[in-house]
Structure 1
Amino acid sequence: MPSVFLAVKKERKIVDEIIEKEHILGVISDNRFGVRSKKVPSVYITHQLQVLSGNTTYFTSKVHQKIWEKFDECWIPDTASTPNLSGKLGHLQSSKFKLKYIGILSRLNYFKTTLKYDLLVLLSGPEPQRSILESKVLTALKNYQGKVLFVRGALKNAAALQTAENIEVNNYLLSLDLEKAINESKLVLARSGYSTIMDLAVLGKKAFFIPTPGQFEQEYLAEKLSKESIAPFSTQDKFKIEDLKKANNFKGLQAIKSELNLNLFELFKGK
């Protein structure tokens, strides 16, 4: 906690210096606690109005609420009503604060193309869990007959992998290559992080999720999408390659139609 508060203090100072130097009219913070200023309107973007942390969920949610209430507005990348992607994470029963739902956000775009891969494995997240999942999935893929694109989410200097001929391996992909790869894939196996879910929704993909162990948000989102018959999931320790067949009985992710309300930016004309 002390390091967090020190980082917030440093961010506030840097932001004020930038505002003065560059004549900034407003600030939009992507989950950065200290990226705000009293000099200009400041907006906080988050899908975590409630922060799931097990037994401490009430406490962590209240602390986070105190943080985003210091901003002029809070924008949530989701829809206000059902259907929605974030569930209880991004929706409160009541709030006195000004919350604005701005629709699903993604840097990726859908385009019609020929399917090249039966399976796209998209790894991400902190170590050692990324490597543990990588090893487990590669072992499981020994009995998989389809064409696979395996994106490790690792640095350039990561050790090379020895795989079967039906598996194409990349350490990582930049945005345009990732967009192309997902559009060309029939099924995506990935962590159930919210940004990943939004990307797959915009591209209208079928998915299979393996939440990172101990990350309550990912576990909740995976369970939510499974209950809604959108995408199946498995815990990391119990995953088997046969589980991927379950996706055939799920409808897949679809973008929830919404248009970005450009009136949102009227806020920055106020001062």
Structure 2
Amino acid sequence: MKKRILVAPLNWGLGHATRCIPIITALMQEGFVPVIASDGAALTLLRKEFPNLSSTQLPPYDVNYAKKGKNFRLRLLKDAPKILKAVKAEKKSIDAILEHNNDIAGIISDNRLGVRNKYVPSVFITHQLNVLSGNTTWLSTKMHQEIIKKYNECWVPDVEGDVNLSGRLGHVKTIDIPTKYIGPLSRFNKTNSEIKNDLMVLISGPEPQRTILEEKLLKELKNFSGKIVFVKGIIEQEQTIQLIGSITIYNFMTSSLLEKTINESALIISRSGYTTVMDLARLNKKAFFIPTPGQFEQEYLASRLTEMQLVPSCNQDDFTLSKLNEVKHYLGLKSFDFEINYKELFSLF
């Protein structure tokens, strides 16, 4: 009988869910049966990607960004009791799932803090061994590492050496947690496709900042002279396609269409979320990053990659069409070793 592995990504934007796609695919290839657990758009997306797999809904964290990004830390503090309540609720949900499914042989949590069980090998996926939070970084990092210690292993989707994607987010001098650098995760493969789109816009993430960026980009890009594909990152029951001038707007794309369209696009505008960074590195793409206001992780990644002369970036309020002229002075993202030894990785189960 095949062992079943519970895979549970955080519903915070789409990055945690999409980077679990190669994990879920590899589990099936290695003879396991994945069971998906999440909530909201993340769960909807994975159900669309894997319609034949069983899935279950977990309690939502329900954290929204303030309209002013600088208030994000305050919002997190305000929402802390709600998050702690959700973590306790999802831990109870996991215990109930295991009670009724005694053939589950392992748990993989991508940043869901309560998805673990002391009787079942449990893994925590994160690229943030350091959690950047301004002048409280030391505290947020310590709290995060205390949570990770409760898992059997921590998987960091990056390479261990000095040349890496996550920088100080995923690399610490010392850590007393069983940690494996598994290599960057991406659901995509590079193809030598003909370039059909001059520009592709990829946005997702918590509201209201996702909508604010969407509206700003549609306004700024209406005078762009080339062909644009615009993906809103709104996961709905049916895919919609709208044409406004030279801009083709999708509410969402499935992985296969997204892979094809990115490969066929000369330049990508997106947030600087870590999953997006991994995807665009896998596909060797030129990009322009606009980090989510107030999200230190995205601001750090955008700043780091700009300083490395790989990808230009700017604050959301400062973006104008003319900013895209900077792209020609940057190298673009380059691929790392994306070959992961899944057989060895899954030996824990």
Q: Which moved more, 1:226-235 or 1:146-155?
A: 146-155
In structure 2, how many angstroms separate the alpha carbons of the residues matched to 1:88 and 1:180? 32
Q: Is the 8 A contact 1:104 1:255 kept in 2?
A: no
Q: Is the 8 A contact 2:203 2:271 kept in 1?
A: yes
Deviation, 1:90, is 0.5
Counterpart selection for 1:3 from 60, 82, 87: 82
Name the CA shift for 1:189/1:2 in 2 (closer, same or farther; >3 Å). same
1:163 paired residue number: 244
1:92 partner letter: V
Task: Calculate the TM-score normalised by the size of structure 2.
Answer: 0.72
Task: Calculate the TM-score normalised by the size of structure 1.
Answer: 0.92
2:173 paired residue number: 93
SS in 1 for 2:116: coil
In structure 1, list runs of 5 or more residues that go unmatched.
none
Q: Is the 8 A contact 2:209 2:292 kept in 1?
A: yes
In structure 2, list runs of 5 or more residues that go unmatched.
1-79
Identity of aligned residues (%): 52
1:153 paired residue number: 233
1:198 paired residue number: 278
Counterpart selection for 1:119 from 199, 223, 233: 199
Counterpart selection for 2:348 from 264, 267, 270: 267
1:12 paired residue number: 91
Name the CA shift for 1:223/1:8 in 2 (closer, same or farther; >3 Å). same
In structure 2, how many angstroms separate the alpha carbons of the residues matched to 1:90 and 1:59? 16
SS in 1 for 2:105: coil
Q: Is the 8 A contact 1:232 1:250 kept in 2?
A: yes
1:99 partner letter: T
Q: Is the 8 A contact 2:312 2:326 kept in 1?
A: yes
Report the number of matched residues: 267
2:66 paired residue number: none
Name the CA shift for 1:42/1:210 in 2 (closer, same or farther; >3 Å). same
Deviation, 1:126, is 2.2
SS in 2 for 1:26: strand
**Superposition misfits of 4+ residues, deviation over 4 angstroms:** 155-162
Deviation by residue 1:82-141 (Cα, 9 ceiling, x = unmatched)? 211111110101112221100010112222211110100112122222222222222222
Q: Is the 8 A contact 2:239 2:253 kept in 1?
A: no
SS in 2 for 1:103: coil
SS in 1 for 2:317: coil
Deviation by residue 1:148-173 (Cα, 9 ceiling, x = unmatched)? 11112236599997732x21111221
- Is 2:168 aligned against 1:108? no
Q: Report the aligned-residue RMSD.
A: 2.0
1:237 paired residue number: 317
- Is 2:219 aligned against 1:139? yes
1:182 paired residue number: 262
